[in-house]
Chain A
C-alpha cells in the first residue's frame, strides 16, 4: 500500500498573488468507451444544489463540481493545494488585489437548450450571491465587469486575501445559467434547471447519485464513464462496505483510520483531504459558575488533550492549540497551558469552587460523546461534577444564540467544532465583539482583538499575518474560555489504483479521479 498521508502545508499566503502556473485538466482520454465505473460514497443525502441556498453549511460540492461550471478549482502546485483555473476557463488571472480577469472557454453548452456559458452567467451568479443566504462569502465582492461574451473582470470592493480560496474555489463559487435559473423563479433545490459539466446526474433520494458522461460536454473528458455515489450516512457502514468491495472510495472515521493505518485492507490507500476543522471546549465567561478566571484556567489545565486524541480519535486527530488549522498561516505549535491536574485542583481551591456542578453540552455523535466522557472524568478529578447533555444538531447550533431563546444564559461549557476554508482569516470572524451572542458564545471581547482582526484582513504579508493571528489566539486563550482540543483530519480510503483528488474542505473532486 502506498501511504499518501503527508502533512501538506496547504497554502502559502503568496498563493493569492501568484498567477496560475497550471490549470485544471480532467484526466480522461477522449471517449474511451470501455465501461470505466467508479463507486464512491456520499456521507449525506443532498438537499440543495443551489449555491445561494445551501443548507446547514455543508454544500453538495461533490455533485456541483461534476455538473456545474466554476472559474477555479482546488488543485496542487508544487505538491501544495491551492486554487487552479478550472477546465471551464481559458485563464484566470488576479491582476491586482481587487481585480481578477477571467476568460471562459467557448462552446460549453447548458443543458435543456439554455445556450452557451457566457460572462453574463458569471455576473448573474455572483451578484445573486450577494443577496443570498451565503452572502457572507461575498462581502468583498463588488461586481463583474463584462468584457465580451466570454471574458470579464471580477472587481472587489476591498483587498480580501481569501477570496479565491474560500469563495470562488468553494461551493459558493458555482456558476448558474441566468436564463435557466430565472425560468424556475430564481432558485431551485435538487433539480438544477440547467447543468454544464463533464457529467450529468440522476438522484434517487436516500440511495445514490448516478453520474454519467454528459453527451453535450465538449471540454476535457473525465476518466470514468459513470460514477455511482451511494449515500451512506454511517461511517462504519461505509467502511464495512469498502472492505466488502462495494465502494471504491469513502471517507472514514478516526477509529477506522487508526485500524487501517495499523492493518490496511489489501490494495487500498489512505489520503488526507485536509484538516480544516478546529474543536475546542468552550466556556461561558458570563455564567456565574464560570465568572472566575481561576475556574476557567483550572478547567484548561484539567482537560487531558492527549487522552481525548487517543480515546475518542484513536490517535488520528492532530492536537490543536488554537483556531488556525494545520497548514495555515498562524498555526500554533503549543498552548500557553499544559495538562496539570495538581495545579488545576489548587486553582479550584483558591477560587473556592470545589464541588462545582457543570453541564457539558455536545452534539450527539459517538466521538464527541467519548470526548465529553473523558472531559467529564478529567473534571471529576479536580472536583467538578459534570453532566453530559447530548443534543441533536437543531438545538445544539442555536443554544448560544440570543435570537433563539434563552438557552445562552444557561450555557456553561460545551464542545464545539467549526470548519474553515483554507485561509486563517475565516475562524477569527466568529469571535469578534459583534459576534457575542451570535457565534461568540464564550461572550468575551477585547479591543486588541478587534484591532488585530481588521489588520489581518488587509495584511498580505504572510509573516505579518502569522504574527497577528498567533497573537489573536493567545488573546482567546487568555480569557480562559477555550480548551483547545483537536483538528480532525478528513481522511479517505480508496483503491490504491485510483488516483483520487480532494478539496481541502473534504469533498471528492470526482472529475479528476482516474485509475492508473
Chain B
C-alpha cells in the first residue's frame, strides 16, 4: 500500500515535471522575441535588457530551463512583469476560488448524480429510470458554457435570484456561497447526468456479477446487496472517472470564471493570455497541471483504499 502510494506520487511528480518541460518548450518556440512579447511595445531598450537579464533570457535555452526548473521546485513561479508581484503569490490567491468552484460543482453533481444512478439501476426501465435517463442525457447534451449563458439569462436577469458576477465579499461566507450557486450549477450540470449514467451502467454491470447472485443466494436483503455490495464495487470506476474527468471540469471552470467574472485560475489564464503576460500564464498552466495531478492522485489513492486488488498491483 505504502509502496503503491509512493510510486504513484513519484509518477505524479514525473508527470508534472514533463508538463513543465513541455510548457517551457512551447513558450520558447513562439515566433518573436520573448522580451518584447513580455514587456509590450513601450518598453525602452534598457528596460528590455534588464528584464532579459533578470529572466535569464540571455542565457542558453537549456540553462534557462534548469534555472526555471530550480525555481519551480522551490515554489518560485517567476515574477509578473506587469505588477512585479510574485506569480506564485498571485496564483495562490486565485486558487481557492477555482478549487471552491470545482468542489462545489462536483459536490452537488455527486450528491445528485450518484443517487440518481443508483435509483435508476435498482429498477431498470422503470418510470423513475426513464425520468432520470431523460434528465441525465439532457444535462450531458448542453455544454457548460451554454449553461452559463442561459443560466445568467434566466436566473440572474429574469428571476434575479442569484448574483451574476464576482465571488462575493471575502469573509462573508453566505455571500460567497450565494455567488457560487450559478457558476457551480453551470459547471456541475453536465456532470450530474454523466455521473448518473456512469453509476447506473456500472451498477447494472455489477448487479450481473456472480457475487451479487451469491449474495442473493445467501439470502441477504436487497438493501445490503445494492448499497453495501453493488455500490461498493460500482463506485470504484466512478471515482477513477472523476479523477480523470477533473481536467474537463477545470476546462468548465475556465468558461464559468470568464462568463461569471469570477476570480480564479482559469480567468487569470484567459486574461493573461490576452495581455500576453507569459510568466503568469506559465505559472497558471503549471498550477492547473499540478492540481489535476493531485486530484487524479487522490482518486487513485481512494480507489486503492477501497479496492484491495488495486493496492497490490503496480
A residues near B (Cβ < 8 Å) are 45-48, 55-57, 133, 189-190, 204-208, 230-234, 237-238, 240-241, 243-246, 364, 392-395, 397-398, 401, 403-405
Evaluate contact between A207 and B263: CB separation under 8 angstroms: yes
Is B273 an interface position by the 8 A CB rule?
yes
Check A244–B164 contact: CB distance below 8 A.
yes
> Which of these, B94, B164, B276, contacts A205 with CB under 8 Å?
B94
Q: How far is the CA of A397 from the CA of B39 in the complex (A)?
A: 11
What A residues does B260 contact at CB under 8 A? 237
Give min CB distance, A410 to chain B, whole Å. 12
Query: Is B165 a contact partner of A238 (Cβ separation < 8 A)?
Result: yes
Chain B residues near A233 (CB, 8 Å)?
A: 261, 271
Given A189-B84, A205-B263, A237 and B165 contact (CB-CB distance below 8 Å): yes
Q: Are B83 and A240 in contact, with the CB atoms below 8 A?
A: no
The complex places the Cα of A249 from the Cα of B60 at a distance, in Å, of: 50
Cβ-defined contact, B166 with A392, below 8 A? no
Nearest CB in chain B: distance from A188 CB, A: 8
Asked if B288 lies at the interface with its beta carbon under 8 angstroms from chain A, I say: no
Across the interface, A393 reaches (CB within 8 A) one of B167, B268, B274, namely: B274
A401 CA to B165 CA in the complex, in Å? Answer: 39
Contacts A56-B40, A394-B37; is A133 near B47 (CB within 8 Å)? yes
* A385 to B31 alpha-carbon distance, docked (Å): 26
Contact in complex: B42, A392 (CB < 8 Å): no
Q: Which residues of B contact A245 (CB under 8 A)?
A: 160
B36 touches A404 (CB 8 A): yes
Verify B164–A240 contact, CB threshold 8 A.
Answer: yes
11 interchain pairs, CB-CB under 8 A: A46-B83, A133-B44, A189-B83, A190-B83, A190-B85, A205-B90, A206-B263, A237-B164, A246-B163, A394-B275, A398-B32
CA gap between A56 and B84 in the complex, in Å? 14
Across-interface contacts of A56 in B (CB, < 8 A): 40, 42, 82, 275
Asked if B312 lies at the interface with its beta carbon under 8 angstroms from chain A, I say no
Q: How far is the CA of A48 from the CA of B259 in the complex (A)?
A: 26
Most B-side CB within 10 Å, residue of A45, A232, A397: A45
A147 to chain B, nearest CB (A): 34
**Cβ contacts under 8 Å, A46 to chain B:** 83
Find out whether the CB atom of A392 lies under 8 angstroms from the CB atom of B276.
yes
**Which one of B42, B170, B261 lies within 8 Å of A234 (CB-CB)?**
B261
B308 proximal to A (CB < 8 A): no
Q: Determine whether the beta carbon of B156 is less than 8 Å from that of A244.
A: yes
Q: What residues on B are CB-neighbors of A231 within 8 Å?
A: 261
Please pick, from A55, A133, A240, A397, the residue contacting B165 in the complex, using a CB distance under 8 A. A240
B134 / chain A contacts, CB cutoff of 8 Å: none
Across-interface contacts of B31 in A (CB, < 8 A) = 405
Cα of A241 to Cα of B94 in the assembled complex, Å: 21
Measured in the bound complex, the distance between the Cα atoms of B42 and A105 in whole Å is 36
Task: Establish whether residues A394 and B276, one from each chain, have CB atoms under 8 Å apart when the complex forms.
Answer: yes
- Chain B 246-265, CB-CB to A under 8 Å as 1, else 0, gives 00000000000011110110
Q: Please provide the chain B residues from 36 to 87 with a CB less than 8 Å away from any CB of chain A in the complex.
A: 36-37, 40-44, 47, 82-85
A180 to chain B, nearest CB (A): 17
- CB B179 to nearest CB in A, in angstroms, measures 10
Q: How far apart are the CA atoms of A269 and B198 in the complex, in Å?
A: 52
CB closest chain-B residue, reference A398? B41
Which chain A residues lie closer than 8 Å to B42 at the CB level?
56-57, 133
B201 to nearest A CB, angstroms?
38
Residues in A neighbouring B275, C-beta threshold 8 A: 56, 392-394
- Contact in complex: A243, B157 (CB < 8 Å): yes
Chain B, residues 145-177, CB within 8 Å of chain A (1/0): the string is 000000010001100100111110010000000
Give the Cβ gap from B85 to chain A, nearest Cβ, in Å. Answer: 7
* B40 near A397: Cβ-Cβ < 8 Å: yes
Shortest distance from the beta carbon of B294 to any chain A beta carbon, whole Å: 22
User: With A55-B40, A240-B152, A244-B160 given, is the CB distance from A47 to B82 under 8 Å?
Assistant: yes
Measured CB to CB, the closest approach of chain A to B307, in angstroms, equals: 40
Partner of A189, one of B36, B85, B259, B261: B85
Quick one: which of A57, A238, A246 has the most chain B CB within 10 A? A246
A404 touches B41 (CB 8 A): yes
Contact B258 A234, beta carbon cutoff 8 Å: yes
Residue of B nearest to A243 (CB): B157
Question: A190-B85, A246-B165, A393-B275 are contacts. A232–B261 as well, Cβ < 8 Å?
Answer: yes
Q: Does B197 contact A (CB under 8 A)?
A: no
Question: Looking across the interface, which residue of chain B has its beta carbon closest to that of A364?
Answer: B274
A190 to B82, CA, bound (A): 10
B266: min CB distance to chain A, Å: 11
CA–CA, A205 and B259, complex, Å = 18
Q: Nearest chain-A residue to B43 (Cβ)?
A: A133
Interface set, chain B 183-219, CB cutoff 8 A to A: none
Chain B positions within 8 Å of A190 at CB level: 83, 85
Report the separation of the CA atoms of residues A364 and B31 in the bound assembly, to the nearest whole angstrom: 18
Residue A207 contacts which of B84, B160, B166 (CB distance < 8 angstroms)?
A: B166
Known: A230-B165, A237-B164. A398 touches B36 (CB 8 A): yes
Residues of chain B lying within 8 A (CB to CB) of residue A208: 166
> Beyond A56-B82, A392-B276, A398-B40: 15 further Cβ-contacts under 8 Å?
A45-B271, A47-B82, A56-B42, A133-B42, A190-B85, A204-B263, A206-B263, A207-B167, A237-B164, A237-B261, A241-B163, A246-B164, A392-B274, A394-B37, A401-B41
Chain B 267-298 per-residue mask, 1 if CB under 8 angstroms from chain A, else 0? 11001011110000000000000000000000
> Looking across the interface, which residue of chain A has its beta carbon closest to that of B81?
A55
Q: In the complex, what distance in Å separates the CA atom of A206 from the CA atom of B261?
A: 9
A48 to chain B, nearest CB (A): 6
- A392–B263 CB distance below 8 A: no
How many Å from the CB of A267 to the closest CB on chain B?
A: 15
Let me know if A232 and B170 touch, CB within 8 A: no
Q: Which chain A residues lie closer than 8 Å to B84 at the CB level?
A: 48, 189
In whole angstroms, how far apart are the Cα atoms of A209 and B234 in the complex? 48
- A46, A206, A364 pick with most chain B CB within 10 angstroms: A206
Q: Which residue on B lies nearest to A247, using beta carbons?
A: B165
Cross-interface CB contact of A395 among B32, B258, B267, cutoff 8 Å: B32
B residues in contact with A394, CB < 8 Å: 37, 40, 275-276
CB neighbours (8 Å) of A241 from chain B are 163-166, 261
Q: Contacts of B83 on A, CB cut-off 8 Å?
A: 46-48, 189-190
Interface centre among B83, B163, B264, B273 (most CB of A within 10 A): B83
Across the interface, which residues of B come within 8 angstroms of A405, CB to CB?
31-33, 36
Whether, in the assembled complex, B93 has its beta carbon less than 8 Å from a beta carbon of chain A, the answer is yes
What is the bound-complex CA distance between A393 and B166, given in angstroms? Answer: 25
Residues of A within 8 Å of B37, CB to CB, are 394-395, 398
